[in-house]
Amino acid sequence: AAEKKAVFIIFGGSGDLAHRKLYPALYGLYKAGILKEHFAVIGTARRAWSDNYYRGTVVTSLLDIDDDQEKMQAFAKHFFYQSHDVTDSDHYIALKKLASKLDDQFETDQNRIYYMAIAPRFFGTVAEHINSEGLKTSGYNRLVIEKPFGRSYDSACELNGSLTKTFSENEIYRMDHYLGKQMVQQLTRIRLKNKTFEKSLNNKYVSNVQVTLSESLGVEDRGGYYETAGVLRDMIQNHIMQIIGAVAMDEPAKLDSESIHEVKREVFASLKDLTPDEVDKNFVRGQYGEDITGKQKAYRDEDNVDANSDIETFVAGKVEFDSERWGGVPFYVRSGKRMPAKSSRIDIVYNDAAEEIGIRPNTTVTILIEPEDGSYILVNGIDYLESNQDIIKFPEKEDYFDHAREAYESLMIDILDGNQIHFTMWDELQNAWKYVDIIRQKWDSETPDFPNYESNTMGPDAASELLEKDGNSWVWAD
């Protein structure tokens, strides 16, 4: 791969995200030679750290992925620390000076990547200062922004308004790390390569689609954040919506950003309107209680959680599209904490008519997105590559797991390439928020009867009843 040149400015460089995800991802790129000589990273945060101390924390963040001390030290030499308060204009001027000095030193062609690894309430402030203090350069200037992108349609509009004063839509990279996962990316490639599979994806042959993003953990030490979010905002609005978009979108003309976003824009615009009355019929919320042994705490007993909290830790729902292709096919979605296992999967359940295109009766194709080391396609629960399944011919395994990269690494390469293919665009986001807002508003107007599911179970009974009403059932059931 060709070497890329850039100065990264990481706001929140001392934080958890930076150390757990960003530094290991950048190091992966360094080992692959994509980052080599011509890059520098400025970490900024409030604390007063020396470059040396900062480099030490960077190396520490790599210890469980590598033991090549020499390489890690050489990598860390590209890191610089600048203490910074996001609201202080003078600090941006200092930052600008440092970036421009490093630009000369490392010959990075004035390219800048601004990464927001910082609390969401600062996103707008930082972007506006980048503008007012004139940090943008004549190279490229790309802004990377983490979730959450607003907490409602209105607040997302406000946030976007403050970003677009400085960055245009094609300079904004809205990170959804599920879009960096191997199987989610492969889904589109498989669709383009495999005509039978592509031809099968519509209301003629598909009975229903199920998307599950489950976690076995509870809220852990993130109670404070979670109390402001809940699964609907934290998982459904972004990750789940993007995954159903990847299944439901039309076949893109090409595998490029423009073609993908064209079909994605259309699919999100075709989300079937949800009325407040339908919310109760089509969506279920839950909050975990203790497990059967009493060893796992109820959500309301977790640290930094209100003892009467109405925040949901589980959502199941039925999403539909108003389109010729998908009209009448339920997309059942589900996400929750304290479920029996961590799993991210898509189950496509075929109907009997699918036999006419060679798909045997009662076929379910499962795309396992996670756990990471088990990225498989299952046909009726069996690894199709090992079972000589001829129902749907997918490309050979070698073809698509060759270049498996951790999601953040793969997305970081896209950012360096200026490729927005796996990022969320503003129009998609708006439609997803409008949809989710209807559910949120309805739920906020009523007091739920929480907790309503035991830890280590598949969520409240109503989540199974939701499918039973339609004569369907969850493919993954405990």
The residues that touch ligand NAD, with contacts defined as CB under 6 A, are 12-17, 20, 45-47, 84-86, 117-120, 146-147
Q: State the Cα–Cα distance between residues 212 and 332, nearest whole angstrom.
A: 8
Strand order in the sheet with 364-370: 283-286, 314-319, 331-336, 206-214, 343-350, 364-370, 377-379, 382-383
- Residue 114: strand pairing partners: 9, 143
Q: Are 327 and 173 in contact (CB under 8 A)?
A: no
14/111 with CB nearer ligand NAD? 14
Q: State the Cα–Cα distance between residues 275 and 442, nearest whole angstrom.
A: 9
> Which residue of the set 78, 239, 261, 422 is catalytic?
239
**Minimum distance from residue 220 beta carbon to ligand NAD (Å):** 11
**Minimum distance from residue 176 beta carbon to ligand NAD (Å):** 10
46 is in an annotated binding site: yes
403 as an active site residue: the answer is no
16/390 with CB nearer ligand NAD? 16
Q: State the Cα–Cα distance between residues 242 and 179, nearest whole angstrom.
A: 8
**Minimum distance from residue 263 beta carbon to ligand NAD (Å):** 26
Locus of tokens 């919310």 = 279
**Minimum distance from residue 120 beta carbon to ligand NAD (Å):** 5
Q: Residues with Cβ < 8 Å from 365, sequence gap 6 or more? A: 197, 347, 348, 350, 377, 378, 379, 392
215 is in an annotated binding site: yes
181 is in an annotated binding site: yes
Task: State the helix-helix crossing angle for 182-193 and 241-248, rounded to 10 degrees.
Answer: 10
391/407 with CB nearer ligand NAD? 407
Which residue has the closest beta carbon to ligand NAD? 15
117/466 with CB nearer ligand NAD? 117
45/379 with CB nearer ligand NAD? 45
- Residue 144: strand pairing partners: 115, 173
**Minimum distance from residue 303 beta carbon to ligand NAD (Å):** 15
CA 74, 80, 81, 86 dihedral sign is: negative
The overall longest dimension of the chain from CA atoms, in Å, is 68
78 is in an annotated binding site: no
85 is in an annotated binding site: yes
Q: State the Cα–Cα distance between residues 420 and 442, nearest whole angstrom.
A: 34
342 is in an annotated binding site: yes
Per the annotation, binding residues for NADP(+) are 46, 85-86, 147
Catalytic positions: 239
Q: What are the binding residues? A: 46, 85-86, 147, 177, 181, 215, 234, 337, 342
- Output the known binding site for substrate: 177, 181, 215, 234, 337, 342
